[in-house]
Structure 1
Amino acid sequence: MFILKINWKVRFKNPIFIAQIILAALTPLLAYVGLSFADLTTWRTLWDLVVQAYSNPYLLALIIISVFNTVTDPTVKGLGDSKLALRYDRPRDDSKFVE
């Protein structure tokens, strides 16, 4: 059985990752229906778009591909996080890294 090993706990502590996931899901949806983020003025409009996405297999596939591209790390061989990243308790702060 294939298990995608990703350090979800640390990723969701990073607000950039959360924003990337939201944008990865919303951008293809908005592009498909011809709207922009400025058109999302009510929660009802957003909900109607989500329902529309689930009822359209092509659009759902676009969203899944977009989220997949956000989650995978192209700097690591394979699909999961590196063994080092799996041990993190919080996002790594490279500002303290000395070359």
Structure 2
Amino acid sequence: MKINWKVRFTNFHFYIQLALAIFVPILAYAGLTAQDLTTWPTLFNVFAEAVRNPYVLFTVAVSVYNSIPDNTTKGIGDSQQVLTYNKPKGDK
């Protein structure tokens, strides 16, 4: 299982996907929406409670794991072609 982390970390969409993979399960467990987080202390309290809760950490871990595989290949690694990329491939 090889993953081209260098290319993933240069892709802005990977960061968005990873942030949502962490943020959404925490909000769902807390029964909140993004609109409920109107102050920084509220946001920090939600994350502090999430870190103390093994169930929430497990759901975040599953969500992050689900954001890693390339769904166009078998398994969770990248294809041989993707492993040769130095930057995300654009449309021609």
TM-score normalised to structure 1 length: 0.83
In the TM superposition, 1:1-80 aligns within 5 A as 4-80=1-77
* Residue 81 (structure 1) aligned with residue 78 (structure 2): yes
Q: Partner letter of residue 32 of structure 1?
A: Y
Percent identity at matched positions?
49
* Cα deviation, residue 24, structure 1: 0.8
Count of aligned pairs between the two proteins: 92
| Distance 1:6-1:44 versus aligned 2 partners, 3 A rule | farther
Consecutive unaligned residues in structure 2, runs of 5 or more: none
Alignment RMSD (CA, Å): 1.4
TM (norm. structure 2) is 0.88
Distance 2:61 2:31 in 1: 19
